[in-house]
């Protein structure tokens, strides 16, 4: 493994760009993803899914399927133990275990097209598919609601007869029950000052309404789960998941098993972006395995991934912002209604909490509604909830700046939040890099290069994301040759094995390739939250650093033993243990590693982190576009993404995270959407028609890393992965407005909608 | 199989069928005639295998056409024009020097079907038989006045491509017939043709609208002698927009006349609104693409 040095970094390892430990497996196809699993006696499962968006299940008759040769078992909701209401923080979203059980196998009603109704285990996948045709389901079709406006309309059909609206005060809280039956699952409000009065006294007020469509994370690898229910009642699940412990909890709760009886083995993951936190088929595969006594594997196809996994919300939003001629924002009002999909849990609270964070405001009112509709239940997607809300706020900000005749970045700088300012939720900002990012935009080559040419325009936008802390466990073991084993509970989505190893290497003064990292299963490592919330390199890194320090403490005792002195008299620096009493007594880490067996036995240590000083992140993007006004097609000419990454842990991974987020955001802005027909069918459930950008649709995404160290991490690391998807929607919209003089307020801004907007302009 | 079950299957597994590799067209025709709709022809397989996977139709036999000599022919002569065997893959077509120099419009189409990998397998013959309204080669083949050579139990016949398509996935071929080749007249002097497709992305997409225009100019390049315009993805079949081309005949080459032709081509469009585009957008695009393809075709005709 080669390590590149980084003269900018004050560290030896942290801030460089070594090649990832798992690179050979990844590029040669040898890495084991969930789909690669083959077990002796394994059966193949397939899910029968609802052809209706909203219907009552009258009857399910599985007898013909059960009698079909080669079919070993069929399960429906009647095989699922009764699960009680229990709500918990589930990674980046809230979850109710009863509803998660219904999500896995519909109970009484189907709530979206693609909702799982039954599943079959058979000798091969062909037989399983044939058997699905033999399951007879009698539906009473009900009218679907497909948008938040439809769902909130007077007399709209209710998805959940027992559901009432809850008032919540903050993210990840359950709130108080209003007792009002409705499709609005919850309402969150943040307010401060007197926005009404402030708007009246403003020189400029801009208000716009926005509509966006449901979009998918678009990971390449489909969901997969394999279960084996052993005769002793212990269940093993193999799955490509972002978090093995969350899957263990979900499965133990839905199946009524003690957690210790469920072992989840995380396989490599081919993309998650928040969508692989929940288990969709684990309980089903487990029930099929219990019935057959054999391992059962279920893999989704692409259509199932689109229709039956967890995309992110479409929305209806309004943003109103006032300002004075001197460029000070007077007040802001934001209304967000987010589609939750079939079950409560849209990320609207996060949208409400984040969208005004780049601005220090006295007067504000933010309202967020979580609304159920007959579409798949949304899951987390990279800074969940924040990009949509940022589209609303950041385009209105741009328009206010335009009306005031102030440069949009100058306008933002005049109102920028700093350490000590309060978020709308009341939380006080610690050390943040909002101003630094905005100043970096102003100083960038991109922003200082004039954009010339017809129908071309430039847009900028900011974004903020909390970043997650959450608990992690890491175990560090010293090998006799001086290399180090590192086991964490963090699934590696993006090179975190290496980014965490680098922190261990930094502490020990060795190179990252002397660390051997692996990802543990739920029986072999302590509880670790999912790899999500931009937390893994930060939080699991802290656990690994702590464990490394424990190892060093023990090794100081061994050195003291060798030198017949006290451990307190031994220090560790520059990769060596040194006696404070006798300067000739020194021993390198590697040499001492070879003497452990003779000085008391092997050394390993485990540590858990649960950091509270999470470093949140600001990003700011600059986008240049050209619009073909004949066809409505937008070409992104140049794109620069700037971000406060704290101390960059791994330089090139930081850059590629920022690029990846920007690209997903550009796709969301321009062409991606769940295209629904009136009966609730997603008409474009293929990668052909769900138009994610390809490399041919994008310029090089330039990155500028702004490094404002996070005081909450020993090396100053912040989370990086999520915030880069926040600014692009608005940056692209602002660029299009600059190019053609029309402000589009609906996503996607595809050629058809641009043509329509141009026509309206005329 | 019912439509609802096609949806539920979603295609993980390919259905069972017998794979046959006849060496002569006669042998292939007899297989097809015996099995009717229960047999499909396979050239590149880029459509048919996907359709089998998603359960678009149930078959007993798949007839591999790639070992039949006539279907691999790619030849040109001044007297007979260009013959493209029905199984010749796109890459062989667009890499052929004669096609590149004399039929750039066919190159326009065959270079943008699918991806490079798809072009290694996919054939224009397959594109024709698949008869998708949005087929990316179809407007070019119609604008170039091509015809389909079809063989069945009662012999061989030639059908002009402008009369070939009858509906989405449907055409004039009967159950016992197979496509042998596509035939195009040798290009006349001072002629040129071009094809453009509009997609929201730059590759890997299905046409929102596509148009091919072919023109023959007077020797001085100032007037149209004749023109043929064909439009796709804006109706149940690709259309030959005859009036749009005819109104250019004898007219001066100028923006005004080109705009008139573009308006005339739009009248042929009868699109639907779906996830790929709206009615309004598609009709508008026919006008834009007609103008743009005529501009390129004129440039090419003037050399």
Predicted pLDDT of residue B56: 87
Write down the pLDDT at residue A95. 76
- Residue B83 and residue B41 share a domain: no
Query: What was the pLDDT predicted at A2?
Result: 45
User: Is residue A126 scored above 70 in pLDDT?
Assistant: yes
Whether residue B3 has pLDDT greater than 50? no
Contacts of B275 in chain A (CB under 8 A): 675, 683-684, 689
Radius of gyration of the CA atoms of chain B, in A:
19
Average pLDDT over residues B78-86: 97
Mean pLDDT of A308-325: 98
Report helix, strand or coil for A761.
helix
> Please, what's the b/e burial string for A228-266 (b: 16 or more CB within 10 A of its CB; e: otherwise)?
bbeeeeebbbbbbbbbbbbbbbbbbbbbebeeebbbbbb
| Bridge partner residues of B84 (DSSP) | B74, B182
How many A-B residue pairs are in contact by the CB < 8 A criterion? 80
pLDDT value of position A82: 84
Q: For the packed helices A496-508 and A541-563, what is the interaxial angle rounded to 10 degrees? A: 30
- How confident is residue B13, by pLDDT bands cut at 50, 70 and 90? low
Phi, psi of A631 (to 5 degrees): -110, -15
* Stretch B193-203: mean pLDDT: 96
CB contact under 8 A, A299 and B12: yes
Which of A573, A600, A609, A567 shows the shortest CA–CA distance to A589?
Answer: A573
pLDDT band at B148 (very low <50, low <70, confident <90, very high): very high
Question: What is the nearest CA distance from A688 to chain B, expressed in angstroms?
Answer: 6
- Are B122 and B164 contained in the same domain? yes
Report d(CA A281, CA B3) in Å as an integer.
25
Which residues in chain A have Cβ-Cβ distances shorter than 8 Å to B288? 630-631
DSSP output for A500-515:
HHHHHHHHHTS-GGGE
> Among residues A507, A490, A617, which one has the least CA distance to residue A552?
A507
Same domain, yes or no: B37 and B81 = no
CATH number at residue B294: 3.30.390.50
Same domain, B56 and B124: no
Strand B209-217 versus strand A570-573 pairing type: unpaired
- What ranges in A205-342 are assigned the alpha helix state H? 244-255, 282-292, 302-308
Of B11-25, B124-138, B198-212, the range with the lowest mean pLDDT is B11-25
Q: Assign A170 a pLDDT band (cuts: 50, 70, 90).
A: confident
Question: Quick check: A136 contacting B, CB < 8 Å?
Answer: no
β-pairing, A235-239 vs A224-229, is antiparallel
Q: Could you tell me the pLDDT band of residue B8, with boundaries at 50, 70 and 90?
A: very low
Q: What is the mean pLDDT of residues B208-220?
A: 98
In chain B, DSSP finds a helix count (H) and a strand count (E) of 12, 14
Q: Which of residues 675-734 of A touch B (CB under 8 A)?
A: 675, 683-684, 688-689, 691, 693-694, 696-697
Q: Residue A91: what pLDDT? A: 60
Among the listed residues A687, A689, A676, the one whose alpha carbon sits nearest the alpha carbon of residue A112 = A676
HEC string of B64-87 equals ECCCCHHHHCEEEECCCEEEEECC
Count Cβ atoms below 10 Å from residue A413 Cβ, excluding itself: 17
| Cα–Cα dist A629/A632, whole Å | 5
Q: Say yes or no to pLDDT of B1 above 50.
A: no
Contacts of B13 in chain A (CB under 8 A): 125-126, 129
| Mean of the per-residue pLDDT values of chain A | 96
Tokens standing for residue A737? 């407005």
What was the pLDDT predicted at A90?
66
- B10 contacts on A by Cβ (under 8 Å): 301-304
Show the domain range for B21: 3-7+14-64
Beta-bridged to residue A187, according to DSSP, are A167, A369
**Residue range A13-42: mean pLDDT, rounded:** 96
In A, minimum Cα distance to B9 occurs at A129
Domains in chain A with CATH codes: 34-143+222-301 (3.90.1170.50), 430-467+614-762 (3.30.365.10), 469-609 (3.30.365.10)
Q: Which residue has the tokens 């279920």?
A: A298
Q: Which residues of B touch A756 (CB under 8 A)?
A: 278, 280-281
Q: Are residues B167 and B208 in the same domain?
A: no
Contact A394, A462 (CB under 8 A): yes
| Number of independent structural domains in chain B | 3
Per the CB < 8 Å rule, is A48 touching B8? yes
CA of B172, closest CA in chain A: separation in Å? 29
Give the residue from A123, A628, A755, A760 with the most B CB atoms within 10 Å of its CB, the best one to mutate. A755
**In a shared domain, residues B147 and B42:** no
Per-residue pLDDT, A8: 72
Instruction: Name the residue facing A133 among B5, B13, B275 (closest C-beta).
Output: B5
Instruction: State the nearest Cα–Cα gap between B140 and chain A, in angstroms.
Output: 21
pLDDT tens string A40-72: 999 999 999 999 999 999 999 999 999 999 999
CA A368 to chain centre: 20
Q: Looking at B64, B86, B105, which one is the last position of a domain? A: B64
Q: Sort residue A584 into left (φ over 0), alpha (ψ -120 to 50) or beta.
A: alpha
Residues B238 and B270 in one domain: yes
Given B125, B155, B184, which residue is the final one in a domain? B184
Please check whether residue B3 touches A, CB under 8 A: no
Per residue in A109-123, pLDDT tens? Answer: 999 999 999 999 999
The pLDDT-based confidence of B10 (bands split at 50, 70, 90) is very low
Residue A30: exposed, middle, or buried by beta-carbon count in 10 A (0-12, 13-18, 19+)? exposed
For residue A152, pLDDT beyond 90: yes
Q: pLDDT (tens digit, 9 = 90+) per residue, A225-247?
A: 999 999 999 999 999 999 999 99
Region of residue A612 (phi > 0: left; psi between -120 and 50: alpha; otherwise: beta): alpha
Task: Give the model confidence (pLDDT) of A572-590 as tens digits.
Answer: 999 999 999 999 999 999 9
Closest-approach residue (CA) in chain B for A117: B8
Which is more confidently placed, A414 or A82? A414
Contact by Cβ (8 Å): A247, A529: no
Is there a cis peptide before residue A748, judged by omega within 30 degrees of 0?
A: yes
Q: What is the pLDDT at residue B170?
A: 97
- Burial (CB count <10 Å: 0-12, 13-18, 19+), residue A523: middle
The neighbouring-strand residues paired with A329 are A323
Are both B172 and B113 inside the same structural domain? yes
pLDDT-based confidence at residue A101 (cuts at 50, 70, 90) = very high
End-to-end CA distance of chain B: 54
**Contact (Cβ atoms closer than 8 angstroms) between residue B35 and residue B61:** yes
Helices (runs of H) and strands (runs of E) counted in chain A: 20, 30
Six token digits for residue B293: 């393809």
Q: Which residues of B touch A688 (CB under 8 A)?
A: 204-206
Cα separation, B198 vs B210, in Å, equals 6
pLDDT of residue A5: 67
- Which residues of chain B are within 8 Å of residue A697 when distances are taken between CB atoms? 201-203
Q: Which of residues 192-251 of B touch A (CB under 8 A)?
A: 198, 200-206, 208
Sign, Cα dihedral of A272, A277, A278, A281: positive
Residues B120 and B195 in one domain: no
Domain boundary among B124, B157, B184: B184
B4 interfaces chain A, CB cutoff of 8 Å = yes
CA atoms within 13 A on the CB side of A639: 28
Report yes or no: A750 and A671 within 8 Å, Cβ to Cβ: yes
Q: Rounded distance, CA A360 to CA A428, Å?
A: 11
Shared-domain flag, residues B18 and B89 = no
**CB distance B206–A689 less than 8 Å?**
yes
User: Which tokens sit at A162?
Assistant: 């027992």
B101 and A CB contact within 8 Å: no
Is residue B96 within 8 A of residue B74, CB to CB? The reply is yes
pLDDT tens-digit readout, A282-291: 999 999 999 9
Is B235 in the same domain as B222?
A: yes
Whether residue B2 has pLDDT greater than 50: no
Judge if B82 and B56 occupy the same domain. no
In terms of Cβ atoms closer than 10 Å to its own Cβ (0-12, 13-18, 19+), residue B78 is exposed
Least-confidence region, from A108-112, B2-6, B286-290 = B2-6
**Backbone Cα Rg of chain A:** 27
Listed by number, the residues of chain B in 267-286 with a beta carbon closer than 8 Å to a beta carbon of chain A are: 274-278, 280-281, 284-285
* Partners of residue A43 on adjacent β-strands: A296
Contact A696 B198 (CB under 8 A): no
Tell me the percentage of chain B whose pLDDT exceeds 90.
90
Helix (H) or strand (E) holding A708: none
What value does the mean pLDDT take over residues A197-208? 98
**Of residues A633, A314, A614, the one with CA closest to residue B197:** A633
CA distances from A626 to A129, A631, A736 (A): 47, 12, 8
CATH number at residue B59: 3.30.43.10
- Is residue A617 left, alpha or beta, with left meaning phi > 0 and alpha meaning psi from -120 to 50? beta
Report how far residue A506's alpha carbon sits from residue A541's, in angstroms, rounded to the nearest whole number: 11
- The predicted structure's pLDDT at residue B6: 38
User: Residue A220 phi/psi, 5° resolution?
Assistant: -75, -40
> Residue B156 and residue A391: Cα distance in Å, rounded?
61
Model confidence at A154: pLDDT above 70:
yes
pLDDT of residue B53: 83
């Amino acid at each position: 493994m080669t390590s590149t040095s980084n003269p900018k970094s004050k560290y030896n390892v942290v801030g460089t760009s070594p090649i990832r430990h798992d690179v050979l497996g990844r590029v040669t196809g040898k890495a084991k993803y969930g789909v690669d699993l083959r077990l002796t006696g394994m059966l193949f499962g397939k899910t029968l899914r609802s052809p209706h968006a909203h219907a009552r299940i009258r009857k399910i008759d599985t007898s013909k399927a059960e009698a079909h040769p080669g079919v070993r078992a069929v399960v429906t909701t009647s095989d699922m133990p009764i699960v009680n209401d229990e709500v918990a923080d589930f990674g980046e979203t809230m979850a109710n275990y009863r509803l998660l059980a219904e999500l896995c196998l519909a109970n009484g009603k189907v709530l979206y097209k693609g909702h799982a109704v039954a599943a079959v285990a058979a000798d091969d996948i062909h037989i399983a598919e044939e058997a699905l045709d033999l399951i007879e389901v009698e539906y009473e079709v009900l009218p679907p609601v497909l948008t938040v406006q439809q769902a909130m309309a007077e007399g709209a059909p209710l998805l959940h007869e027992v559901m009432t609206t809850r008032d919540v005060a903050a993210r990840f809280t359950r709130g108080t029950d209003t007792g009002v039956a409705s499709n609005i699952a919850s309402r969150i409000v943040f307010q401060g000052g007197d926005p009404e009065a402030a708007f009246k006294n403003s020189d400029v007020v801009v208000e716009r309404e926005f509509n966006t469509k449901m979009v998918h994370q678009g990971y390449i690898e489909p969901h997969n789960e394999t279960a084996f229910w052993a005769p002793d009642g212990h269940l093993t699940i193999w799955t490509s998941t972002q978090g093995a412990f969350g899957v263990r909890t979900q499965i133990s709760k839905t199946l009524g098993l003690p957690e210790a009886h469920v072992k989840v083995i995380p396989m490599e993951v081919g993309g998650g972006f928040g969508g692989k936190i929940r288990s969709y088929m684990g309980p089903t595969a487990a029930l099929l395995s219990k019935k057959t006594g054999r391992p059962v594997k279920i893999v989704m196809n692409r259509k199932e991934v689109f229709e039956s996994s967890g995309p992110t919300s479409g929305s209806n939003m309004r943003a109103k912002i006032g300002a004075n001629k001197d460029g000070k924002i007077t007040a802001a009002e934001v209304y967000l209604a987010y589609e939750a999909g079939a079950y409560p849990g849209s990320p609207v609270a996060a949208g409400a909490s984040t969208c005004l964070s780049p601005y220090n405001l006295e007067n504000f009112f933010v309202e967020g509604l979580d609304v159920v509709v007959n579409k798949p239940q949304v899951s987390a997607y990279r800074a969940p909830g924040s990009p949509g809300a940022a589209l609303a706020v950041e385009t209105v900000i741009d328009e206010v700046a335009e009306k005031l005749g102030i440069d949009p970045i100058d306008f933002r700088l005049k109102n920028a939040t700093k350490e000590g300012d309060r978020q709308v939720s009341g939380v006080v900002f610690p050390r943040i890099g909002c101003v630094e990012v905005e100043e970096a935009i102003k100083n960038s080559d991109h922003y200082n290069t004039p954009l010339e040419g017809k129908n071309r325009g430039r847009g900028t936008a900011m974004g903020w994301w909390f970043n997650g802390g959450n608990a992690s466990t890491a175990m560090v073991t010293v090998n006799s040759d001086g290399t180090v084993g590192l086991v964490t509970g963090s699934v590696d989505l993006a090179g975190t094995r290496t980014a965490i190893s680098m922190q261990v290497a930094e502490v020990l003064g060795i190179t990252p390739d002397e660390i051997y990292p692996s990802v543990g299963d739920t029986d072999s490592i302590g509880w670790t939250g999912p790899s999500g919330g931009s937390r893994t390199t930060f939080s699991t890194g802290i656990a690994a650093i702590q464990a490394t320090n424990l190892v060093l403490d023990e090794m100081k005792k061994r050195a003291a033993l060798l030198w017949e002195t006290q451990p307190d008299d031994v220090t560790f620096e520059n990769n060596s243990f040194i006696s404070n009493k006798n300067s000739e007594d020194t021993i390198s880490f590697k040499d001492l590693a070879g003497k452990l067996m003779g000085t008391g036995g092997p050394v390993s240590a485990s540590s858990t982190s649960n950091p509270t000083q999470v470093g949140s992140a600001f990003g700011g993007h600059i986008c240049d576009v050209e619009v073909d006004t004949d066809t409505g097609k937008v070409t992104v000419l140049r794109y620069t993404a700037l971000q406060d990454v704290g101390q960059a842990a791994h330089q090139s991974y930081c850059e590629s995270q920022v690029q990846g987020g920007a690209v997903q955001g550009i796709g969301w802005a321009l062409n991606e959407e769940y295209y629904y027909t009136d009966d609730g069918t997603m008409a474009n459930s293929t990668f052909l028609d769900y138009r994610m950008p390809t490399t041919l649709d994008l310029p090089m995404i330039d990155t500028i890393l702004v490094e404002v160290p996070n005081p909450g991490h020993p090396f100053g690391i912040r989370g990086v992965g999520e915030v880069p998807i926040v600014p692009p929607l608005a940056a692209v919209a602002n660029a299009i407005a600059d190019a053609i003089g029309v402000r589009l307020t609906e996503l996607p801004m595809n050629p058809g909608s641009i043509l329509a907007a141009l026509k309206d302009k005329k | 199989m019912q439509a609802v079950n096609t949806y539920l299957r979603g295609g993980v597994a390919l259905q069972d069928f017998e794979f046959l590799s006849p060496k002569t067209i006669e042998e292939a025709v007899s297989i097809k005639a015996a099995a009717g709709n229960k047999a499909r022809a396979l050239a590149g397989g880029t459509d048919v295998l996907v359709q089998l996977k998603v359960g678009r139709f149930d078959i007993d036999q798949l007839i591999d056409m790639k070992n039949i000599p006539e279907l691999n022919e790619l030849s040109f002569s001044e007297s007979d024009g260009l013959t493209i065997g029905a199984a010749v893959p796109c890459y062989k077509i667009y890499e052929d020097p004669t096609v590149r120099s004399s039929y750039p419009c066919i190159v326009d189409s065959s270079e943008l079907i699918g991806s490079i990998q798809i072009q290694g397998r996919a054939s224009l013959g397959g594109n024709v038989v698949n008869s998708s309204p949005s087929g990316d080669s179809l407007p070019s083949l119609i604008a170039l006045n091509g015809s389909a050579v079809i063989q069945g139990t009662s012999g061989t016949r030639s059908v002009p491509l402008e009369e070939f398509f009858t509906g989405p996935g449907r055409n004039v071929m009967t159950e016992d017939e197979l496509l042998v080749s596509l035939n195009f007249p040798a290009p006349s002097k001072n002629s040129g043709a071009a094809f453009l497709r509009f997609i929201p992305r730059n590759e890997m997409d299905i046409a929102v609208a596509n148009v091919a225009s072919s023109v023959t100019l007077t020797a001085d390049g100032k007037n149209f002698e004749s023109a043929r315009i064909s439009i796709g993805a804006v109706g149940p079949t690709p259309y030959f927009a005859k009036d749009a081309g005819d109104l250019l005949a004898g007219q001066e080459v100028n923006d005004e006349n080109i705009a008139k032709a573009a308006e005339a081509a739009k009248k042929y469009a009868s699109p639907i609104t779906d996830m790929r585009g709206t009615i309004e957008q598609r009709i508008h695009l026919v006008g834009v693409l007609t103008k743009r393809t005529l501009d390129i075709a004129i440039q090419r005709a003037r050399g």
